[in-house]
Structure 1
Amino acid sequence: MRAKERVLRMLNREKVDRIPLDFWATPRMQERLCRELSLDDEGLLQYFGIDFRTVEPRYVGPPLEERNGMQKNVFGVWEKDGFLGYGEAPLQKASTPEDVDAYPFPDPEWFEVAHLKEQCRKYKDFALRTAPAWGTWWASFQLSQALRGVERFFIDLLENEELVNRLLDRITEFTLRVNEKVFEATRGYLDVYFLGDDYGCQRGLLISIELWRKYFKPRIKLLCEQAKSYGLRVMFHSCGAIAELITELSEAGVDIINPLQTRANGMHFGNLSRFKDLVAFHGGIDTQELLPFGSEEEVRQEVRKAISALASSGGAYILASSQELMPDIPVKNVIAMYDEARKIKF
């Protein structure tokens, strides 16, 4: 069975030969895996039997400032290894919607998409999804914190509704415009739109569900509606204890929940399985304790447990790690994770 067919059949709750597999790792860990297994990046994906390939626009805008291992992203906030919020928050002194409008937001024309069709054709046998890059990944919650400062933005949610709405709208408008370019260039090839925001911590949501419904759910719905107008499935990433949001995300149009931080409150497989009729699941093999510190057999047991809980009885599941694979994880455990998943036949 071809990889694309396997993924789409799983998402349709149809019979597949084995569970679909995905891969994400920090650059350092990916380099280590390639080095220790004597493979290049594509060879690594083939070695593990990964069913997805990613496509992304190419940045062609003004040079991005770099300093001490950090880089300013297109929104003007410092990031390192993909994590936002280093250094000064550039919009921390804004007080009105007009101040937000005066800020130099990025131009969607800074992103080139002419190469994407060729990339899609190259990987036409694989399930194709967008990559988390260049601002098209964040739905607006974390990016707003980086622009305003975390404490200031959380106060804004309660005390400065007009400013928050303007900021979230500007970010969403930019994302919609970049998405349109990507979706048009990949029409007929792309399968999954991947976006996200981290709404949870280890014990619960970072804001009340009422505030989430007020500010974020409508904008996620806009992004989902746009993707679905191109026939795409929507995969949404949020770390932490987000079981309370799963039904809400489904209502907004999300099809797949990632990354399943299973050691967070309420995110164990038994609880997640009750949402199988609403969404598919992606991830779930624990990177907090199991993969870095567990034995190969413990990893294999967890893989079997995840597949049994999330892919049986009408469920849809794509196996991957619960976060990016980090350099503290033994290579043997990564091999065990994918090897066990490929052994389980449907």
Structure 2
Amino acid sequence: MNSRERVLTALSYEEPDMVPIDFGAMRSTGIMAMAYNGLKAYLGINRGETRVYDLFQMLADPELEIIDRMEGDVVQLHRLKPALGIKITAWKEWHLPDGSLCKVPQDFNPIEYEPGSYEVWDGDLCARMPRGALYFDMVHFPLQHAQSVEEVQRYLKENPLELIGEEEFTWLQENSLRLYENTDKAILGAFGGNILEGGQFAFGWQKFMTDILANREMIEYFLDRLVENYLENLKRYIRAVQGHVHIIQMGDDLGTQTGLQISPQLYRQVIKPRQTQLYEYIHRHSQMLVFLHSCGSIYEIIPDLIEIGVNILNPVQTSAYGMDPVWLKRQFGKYLTFWGGGCDTQSVLPRARAEEIREHVRERMRIFAPGGGFVFTQIHNIQANVPPENTLALYEAAKEFRRYPLQP
């Protein structure tokens, strides 16, 4: 099988020739640019360039040579402006916090307000990287002081939610075709479609979590406008990529380490109906499978996610409460593809020895791979503190144990 066939077979809950592998094909299966530079140096690869496309998480866009070195089967179709409203059509040199070289989008112009501390402004202060930090944090929440539906209406009239315009439509059309024709990889299209997080990004986490109970009319009004925007963008997105993109990535971090961010009842009242509108639209108007990224302990609502059309779950945070991998596979493995769960990035990947990582990966393959419905990748991104030898050990182990029939 080629990579595309392998992924699509696994997503059909059948066993392909090998377990598919994802190395950096979306914003939660990626690798931080410092770790990526370290990995390339460890492999003795000094050609190419490290492009940082996610400016919040400082994620590298893996080069095809490195994806192939890790036997990756998936590539990402980016949005035109993945972070901070900045296009990724032109690049310039920049230095990461460890001093190593990368490239960032041409219009990314952070201000160094004191040595080692950066701010990004766009009329308002948007994001900040404090001294000693490795990432940019969002610091601007435009509706953080809103108290009524009328204030939200006024804000949205003055600041309409962004639609996919002609430039991005062409970008999506051309790049989806390029990836489809020039690689044999499955293509994962980044979309977004965040409902809970969309509200948190607009109002700020604390205000949103308070007002979803105390000022629910205002919150629901905003979420309805958000869904309307997403549906129009889905219409344009699907038209641009139809026939080329196999999987569409949606996001909504519903969980924490110990449980859901909101109660199951509140999720079912406020978030689920709006997710349903989006996922049903995708299934009605395209052949793409719905990939949902949701961190944390979400075991209580996995049946809800299956019901509303989620085909693929990521990152499968098995270290969170109730997310036991054996139980997840037994309960939901016939209905849901697990895209992740291949290595614990909290306690194993940063600190374990290579042989420990190998055995950990072997165990996860035994649990998740039988019967298909599994794409191997670590749980969320490879962070800056992961030694390159551990990253290599992770993917060498995945390659070793990925063949069907699985090793006992």
Does TM-score exceed 0.5, indicating one fold? yes
1:210 equivalenced with 2:265 (yes/no): yes
Residues 137-164 of structure 1, C-alpha deviation per residue, up to 9 Å, x if partnerless?
Answer: 2512123123212222112111212111
Counterpart CA distance in 2 for 1:15 and 1:86 is 41
**Correspondent of 1:252 among 281, 296, 308:** 308
Structure 1 residue ranges (4+ consecutive) displaced by more than 6 angstroms after TM superposition? 60-65, 72-76, 79-85
Q: What is the CA distance between 1:86 and its match in structure 2? A: 3.2
Counterpart CA distance in 2 for 1:304 and 1:77 is 43
1:341 equivalenced with 2:401 (yes/no): no
> TM-score if structure 1 supplies the norm length?
0.90
Q: What is the CA distance between 1:46 and its match in structure 2? A: 1.1
**Correspondent of 2:364 among 303, 306, 330:** 306
- In structure 1, the residue matched to 2:248 is 193
Counterpart CA distance in 2 for 1:163 and 1:194 is 28
Counterpart CA distance in 2 for 1:35 and 1:300 is 22
**Correspondent of 2:67 among 45, 60, 63:** 45
Counterpart CA distance in 1 for 2:195 and 2:137 is 13
Deviates more, 1:84-93 or 1:151-160: 84-93
- In structure 1, the residue matched to 2:234 is 179
Q: What is the CA distance between 1:315 and its match in structure 2? A: 4.5
Cα 1:82–1:20 shift into 2, 3 Å: farther
Q: Secondary structure at the match of 2:255?
A: coil
- In structure 1, the residue matched to 2:149 is 97
Mapped contact 1:73–1:79 kept (Cα < 8 A): no
Counterpart CA distance in 2 for 1:230 and 1:72 is 38
Instruction: Return the structure number with greater helix share.
Output: 1
Q: Secondary structure at the match of 1:102?
A: helix
- Structure 2 stretches lacking a partner, 5+ long: 24-29, 49-62, 88-106, 113-117
- Structure 1 stretches lacking a partner, 5+ long: none
Cα 1:85–1:216 shift into 2, 3 Å: farther
- In structure 2, the residue matched to 1:86 is 138
Q: How does 1:144-155 map to 2 (within 5 A)?
A: 144-155=199-210
Q: What is the CA distance between 1:15 and its match in structure 2? A: 2.9
Q: What is the CA distance between 1:300 and its match in structure 2? A: 1.3
Q: What is the CA distance between 1:53 and its match in structure 2? A: 0.8
- In structure 2, the residue matched to 1:128 is 187
- In structure 1, the residue matched to 2:79 is 57
Q: Which amino acid aligns with 1:316?
A: G
Cα 1:145–1:182 shift into 2, 3 Å: same
Counterpart CA distance in 2 for 1:322 and 1:75 is 34
Mapped contact 2:33–2:384 kept (Cα < 8 A): no
Q: How does 1:276-295 map to 2 (within 5 A)?
A: 276-284=333-341, 285-295=343-353
Q: Secondary structure at the match of 1:58?
A: coil
Q: What is the CA distance between 1:74 and its match in structure 2? A: 12
Aligned-pair identity (%) = 29
Q: What is the CA distance between 1:50 and its match in structure 2? A: 0.9
Counterpart CA distance in 2 for 1:5 and 1:337 is 23
Counterpart CA distance in 2 for 1:140 and 1:79 is 24
Counterpart CA distance in 2 for 1:318 and 1:70 is 37
- In structure 1, the residue matched to 2:101 is none
Mapped contact 1:78–1:87 kept (Cα < 8 A): yes
Q: Which amino acid aligns with 1:86?
A: M
Residues 290-334 of structure 1, C-alpha deviation per residue, up to 9 Å, x if partnerless?
Answer: 10011111111121211211121x341111110100111121222
Counterpart CA distance in 1 for 2:202 and 2:235 is 24
Residues 210-248 of structure 1, C-alpha deviation per residue, up to 9 Å, x if partnerless?
Answer: 111111111111221222221110111111111112111
Counterpart CA distance in 1 for 2:250 and 2:135 is 15
Cα 1:70–1:25 shift into 2, 3 Å: farther
Cα 1:138–1:102 shift into 2, 3 Å: same
Q: Which amino acid aligns with 2:356?
A: E
Mapped contact 2:189–2:249 kept (Cα < 8 A): yes
Q: What is the CA distance between 1:67 and its match in structure 2? A: 4.7
Counterpart CA distance in 1 for 2:5 and 2:77 is 18
Mapped contact 1:77–1:147 kept (Cα < 8 A): no
Q: Give the aligned length.
A: 341
- In structure 1, the residue matched to 2:377 is 320
Counterpart CA distance in 1 for 2:170 and 2:251 is 25
1:157 equivalenced with 2:163 (yes/no): no
- In structure 1, the residue matched to 2:275 is 220
Cα 1:82–1:293 shift into 2, 3 Å: closer
Q: Which amino acid aligns with 1:126?
A: K
Mapped contact 1:77–1:84 kept (Cα < 8 A): no
Aligned-CA RMSD value = 2.7
